[in-house]
Amino acid sequence: MSRLNLILMLAVLGSGALMVRSAYEARRLFTEIDKAQAEARRLDADLQRLQAERQAQATNLRVEKVARERLQMRAATPAIIQQASLSASGVQR
């Protein structure tokens, strides 16, 4: 009987150790999920902010301002337009 008690005690101890390890692993995985969800929320907020910035940068007034200031461009007026025509040979007149 003593041998059976020893085997059963070892089985109970082994089962308890596996249960503790399983609970620890479940807590660890839950923490990882929580961190991943927080990172997903942060990335979503960054995406929203970047999309808003992109829309603000792409407005017509902003593009026109950048074209004037950085690229030194100006609006086309009849006074600065030259018309070119090509002859049948492809040479400009």
For the chain, what's the residue count? Answer: 93
Amino acid of residue 64: E
Are 73 and 67 in contact by the 8 Å Cβ rule? The answer is yes
pLDDT digits (tens, 9 = 90+) for 6-63: 999 999 999 999 999 999 999 999 999 999 999 999 999 999 999 999 988 888 888 8
For the stretch 30-33, contacts whose Cβ atoms lie closer than 8 Å and that sit 24 or more positions apart, written own/partner, are: none
Confidence tier at 86 by pLDDT (50, 70, 90) = confident
What pLDDT does residue 90 have? 59
Q: Say whether pTM exceeds 0.75.
A: no
